[in-house]
Structure 1
Amino acid sequence: MITAKIEESRRQNGLDSYASRSIRWGIVGAGHIAARFAEGLGFVPNVTLAGVWARRDAQAEEFARKHGTRAYPSFDNLLDDIDALYIATLQDSHSHYATRAFSAGRAVLCEKPAAVSARELRHLQDAAKASNVLFMEAMKPPFYPLFQKLTEHLTKDPIGNIAFVRAGCSIADAPADHPSFKLERGGGALLNIGIYEAFLAVRFLGKAIKVQTLGRLGRTGVDSFASLNIQHENGIAQIFCGLDLDGKGDAFLAGTKGSVTIHENWWNPCRATVHYLGGRTVELHEPFEGGGLNYETAHFCDVLRSGGIESPVISHEMSMQMIAIIDAARAEMRLTYPFEAG
């Protein structure tokens, strides 16, 4: 299904086959997610890691040594030598780095959430289109082998109309100094965890129409737990996310002729169980390699080589619908960040 969408994108852009050139990647940020991305590049064909830049020189140098690349003295120097940028910083800085990359004509794969609000995301999408460059939110689940296998299975052997989605995750053991607890950096459960569940709800139920939220703020002012009931175009979703409770990370899809459980951790999926009315059960098991980020990266490279400026899977509109859910929940919880003042 993903391959068919990419082929259609190629035809629309007048390209009938893959370009052969290697894609030179740069990374901004040198933390845990940046390391996972760099490791994943080893599982993506025809790419190179050209370099990294981070605000702390020592951290960038250590990252470069570990991953066999170059630490650049400035962000602009990095942009000069790459085709595509992976933004691995905290979400409060995504807009800053993305807009500079667009101005330099560089494609951007931005770690989720791509923006802290729909308003900011629209600004980024408009800027990318104005510069005619590819911009995609790094929402990994749909590119995993299990998710693709499940999608193919439900096409051939459907569970009827899917009209209910339940998904959630709550992490009780994050260290007190974790960025998720920093209000000034756009922390909180909704942006860091809930955006995943928002994706799943939008993917199967369409645009959200109404969002009802119960939640609480923690000692640092970020949302420490939120439970959302969402009315979508095609059904109802119940999602939760938290930073102070231990919550199982599975997902459930209910249809008129059966149901699906995507076993934990559903956002790094490798196993699903499909139940049908009458008692029939189908088990799906598709292991993944490379840490999982490699699949979204390979897709991004395909779209970039095709000449596309928007993913047919994680489209601009899908990203907008996802962040709109988070915006609505934040509004009910009266949660704002210091950098949003005015």
Structure 2
Amino acid sequence: MVRWGIIGCGRIAHRFIQGLKAVPEAAYAGAWSRRPETVKDFTSQYGGYAFSSLEDLLAADDIDAVYLATLPDSHKQYSIAALQAGKHVLCEKPAALNVTELEEILTVARQHHRLFMEGMKPPFFPLYQKLKAHLLTDGIGKIGYVRAGSAVADLSRDHPNFSYELAGGSLTSIGIYEAFLALDWLGPLLDLQTLGRFEGTPVDIFSIFQSRHQDGFAQLYCGLDIHGYGDALIAGTLGRILIHKNWWNPAKATIDYVDGRTIELDEPFAHGGLNYELLHFCQLIAEGKIESPIITHDFSRQMLGMIDQARYQVGLYYKGETPPNPPQGKGFGKL
């Protein structure tokens, strides 16, 4: 049994607690947030202890692991504090503000021999795993192209994704998913080109980025003011895969083969979907592991590195960052 404390009580924390209740290996102990009113509401709804400070939560003997549900601006600070307190950490994506911060987190995780994993959910969904298993015996040949994206048009301008101080922007908040998909199917990044639209905001509200990888090319987009469709295409020499919307919460996929066959995969997910990565995390703790074999530390490093490059190319640097000189890749720049 892994006993959990939750740091941050926003919308994703509500989804996490829904998944936690479906995992017999997990138990919920309490929560803390930098906004006290959200802690009161959260614990009133789900129970658990309402911690008055981060230090109190991390000092609790009945907490083995923490789920970090805050925004990226605080991931380094809270992850390191939790690891130093002897807690395992499941951190919402992206794992840090940039690769430099991620390396600091990973160093502390190794020093304290604690599990640290980025909460990148798609590979743990039943549909995604069924798709990968199917392709082992009925593949689509050499995969050389990925097209994917996500954009939402119903966010109010006071949403944290629009906040420079909270490390918002479409690339950081949404594009990290697209980075995962491209790297997972095409391998390590070789080159990247990015175009971002700001329109008077301090962060990018729509970006497109195309990338060259070890095994092929990707065309990706992310946005905060456009109603994107949200599917994903993976193309190979013998066929193509369409992961139907929303591909980051995958439930259906269609495989069209060059020989005329069509395979439909339908695997609904339950309990909000975060239960699958949570179960994986609990199993890793039981096995004494400090790194996931699925979302490895290096894979998190690659995803974040891809987003770092894209941000730098459009001119988005968060407070305290030192811009690379020159930025890696051949960016299109900022509008």
Whether 1:70 and 2:55 are equivalent positions in the alignment is no
Q: CA deviation at 1:339?
A: 4.1
Q: Residue 121 of structure 1 aligns with which residue? A: 102
Q: Residue 314 of structure 2 aligns with which residue? A: 333
Select which of 238, 257, 261 maps to 1:276: 257
SS of equivalent to 2:165: helix
Q: CA deviation at 1:57?
A: 2.3
Letter in 2 for 1:28: I
Contact 2:25 2:282 in 1 (8 A): no
In 2, Cα distance between equivalents of 1:185 and 1:339? 13
Q: Residue 4 of structure 1 aligns with which residue? A: none
Q: Residue 30 of structure 2 aligns with which residue? A: 51
Runs of 4+ residues over 2 Å off in structure 1: 338-342
CA-to-partner distance for each residue in 1:214-260, whole Å, 9 max, x for gaps?
12223221011111110101111111101121111000000110010
Contact 1:189 1:224 in 2 (8 A): yes
Q: CA deviation at 1:341?
A: 6.2
Q: Residue 139 of structure 1 aligns with which residue? A: 120
Structural mapping, 1:193-212, within 5 Å: 193-212=174-193
More helix by share: 1
In 2, Cα distance between equivalents of 1:89 and 1:218? 26
In 1, Cα distance between equivalents of 2:259 and 2:223? 36
In 1, Cα distance between equivalents of 2:245 and 2:3? 34
Q: Residue 81 of structure 2 aligns with which residue? A: 100
Letter in 1 for 2:277: E
Q: CA deviation at 1:340?
A: 3.0
In 2, Cα distance between equivalents of 1:306 and 1:31? 30
Q: Residue 8 of structure 2 aligns with which residue? A: 29
Q: CA deviation at 1:78?
A: 1.1
In 2, Cα distance between equivalents of 1:140 and 1:97? 21
Select which of 288, 291, 314 maps to 1:310: 291
Contact 1:184 1:339 in 2 (8 A): no
Q: Residue 266 of structure 1 aligns with which residue? A: 247
Aligned length: 321
Q: Residue 333 of structure 2 aligns with which residue? A: none
CA-to-partner distance for each residue in 1:32-56, whole Å, 9 max, x for gaps?
1111111111111121101001122
SS of equivalent to 2:292: coil
Q: CA deviation at 1:160?
A: 0.7
In 1, Cα distance between equivalents of 2:301 and 2:190? 13
Q: Residue 18 of structure 1 aligns with which residue? A: none
In 1, Cα distance between equivalents of 2:122 and 2:314? 27
Q: CA deviation at 1:280?
A: 0.3
In structure 1, stretches of 5+ residues that fail to align are 1-21
In structure 2, stretches of 5+ residues that fail to align are 324-335
Select which of 266, 280, 295 maps to 1:299: 280
Contact 1:117 1:323 in 2 (8 A): yes
In 1, Cα distance between equivalents of 2:261 and 2:184? 25
Select which of 260, 264, 267 maps to 1:286: 267
SS of equivalent to 2:295: coil
Contact 1:213 1:226 in 2 (8 A): yes
Q: Residue 175 of structure 1 aligns with which residue? A: 156
Q: Residue 326 of structure 2 aligns with which residue? A: none
SS of equivalent to 2:34: coil
Select which of 220, 234, 237 maps to 2:201: 220
In 2, Cα distance between equivalents of 1:170 and 1:339? 28
Q: CA deviation at 1:60?
A: 0.6
Q: CA deviation at 1:59?
A: 1.8
Q: CA deviation at 1:163?
A: 1.0
Contact 2:25 2:279 in 1 (8 A): no
> What's the RMSD between the two structures over aligned residues?
1.1
In 1, Cα distance between equivalents of 2:194 and 2:322? 23
Q: Residue 15 of structure 1 aligns with which residue? A: none
Q: Residue 324 of structure 1 aligns with which residue? A: 305
Structural mapping, 1:1-40, within 5 Å: 22-40=1-19
TM-score of the superposed pair, with normalisation by structure 1? 0.92
Deviates more, 1:42-51 or 1:268-277: 42-51
Q: Residue 132 of structure 2 aligns with which residue? A: 151
Select which of 145, 150, 153 maps to 1:164: 145
Percent of residue pairs identical:
51
Contact 1:52 1:60 in 2 (8 A): yes
Q: CA deviation at 1:294?
A: 0.7
TM-score of the superposed pair, with normalisation by structure 2? 0.94
In 2, Cα distance between equivalents of 1:341 and 1:185? 18
Q: CA deviation at 1:70?
A: 1.1
SS of equivalent to 1:227: strand
SS of equivalent to 1:338: coil
Select which of 45, 50, 58 maps to 1:79: 58
SS of equivalent to 1:223: coil
